[in-house]
Amino acid sequence: MSAPSAASSIVVVGSVNADLIARVAAHPSAGETALGESMTVLAGGKGANQAVAASRLGSRVAILGSVGDDAFAAPATGTLKEAGVDLSALRVTPGPTGIAMIVVAADGENSIVVVPGANAAVDGGFVGGHAEKIAAASVVVVSCEIPRDGVEAAARAATGRVVLNLAPVIELDPKVVRLADPLVVNEHEARGALTMLGGAAVGTATGHADVARALVAAGVRSVVVTLGAAGALVATADGVVVVQAPRVTAVDTTGAGDAFIGALAHRLAAGDELDDAARFAVRVGAYAVTKVGAQASYPDARDLLPSRLSGPGRPGARPGPDSPQV
């Protein structure tokens, strides 16, 4: 959709959606109808979110994805263009653009239904056609709102670092999961990943750190478990490090995990160690939840990120020195 740029330091392979966001006082229960307070259409999709987050922070980013030829394609790609993401590998597929229907309650928590639409075209054949672009990137970010063979083709084509976001959890070749460095999952996805890798340890892994250790023991090079307001865990062969999150008031958690991943990739591409990259990424994720929407909430390099820790530590301290190993 745009002219090719110089080789990107980060290539994101993933979904591009239009987000239809309804705000309500409280989430309806099963069978209940709730009156919405507002409805907006914004750019979204895990792939697009992650690409925008990294690009706004200063990385050179390209996205491999697909949109439809309908009216939702323009809002789905608008922020990507504004953020300067390379769209030369973004295809237009006949049919509908992917849609995410998001309900956000007054406490900031959300529920999401995703209709893939054109994202189904980001398959192994399409991704394989861009193998050279993927191989040239220092960091390749892959998420799972696209077909399995597209995810696997992207991970296998990478020669740089693979950041695999197993969200949603889909069945993958365990060899592909073990290419991740890191595998980024939330607390629920982490257990799904462990089951996929052979999982006898699932029943004995009682805490998040246990699951993270078990994933590394199962052959994953490194693991980041995101814990929302509690921060994140970083697991490697050297152990598990707790990364505390800044204390903020959440307005909307939509896309906060993608902000974290984009920021993580940005710092990994710049040469940071994984735990240092995660310390930066939790601050970006915390910034994102203080504003409405996904891509619209992401900071750029000039924005002041929150730093007051939610756990033990000095008020206003940077997270690094207070991150214990467990």
Three-state secondary structure of 4-27 = CCCCCCEEEECCCEEEEEEECCCC
Mind listing the pLDDT tens digit for each residue in 16-61?
999 898 999 999 999 999 999 999 999 999 999 999 999 999 999 9
Active site (catalytic) residues: 258
How high is the pLDDT of residue 268? 98
The Cβ of residue 173 has, within 10 Å, a number of other Cβ atoms equal to 15
How high is the pLDDT of residue 111? 87
Mind listing the pLDDT tens digit for each residue in 218-267?
999 999 999 999 999 999 999 999 999 999 988 888 899 999 999 999 99
Least confident of 47-51, 107-111, 292-296, 312-316: 312-316
How high is the pLDDT of residue 8? 67
Mean pLDDT over 265-282 rounds to 97
Task: State the pLDDT confidence band at 313, using cuts at 50, 70 and 90.
Answer: very low
CA distance 254 to 30: 22
Task: State the pLDDT confidence band at 109, using cuts at 50, 70 and 90.
Answer: confident
pLDDT cut 70: percent of the chain above it: 89
Helix (H) or strand (E) holding 210: helix 208-217
The mean of the pLDDT values for the chain is 90
Report whether pLDDT(316) > 80: no
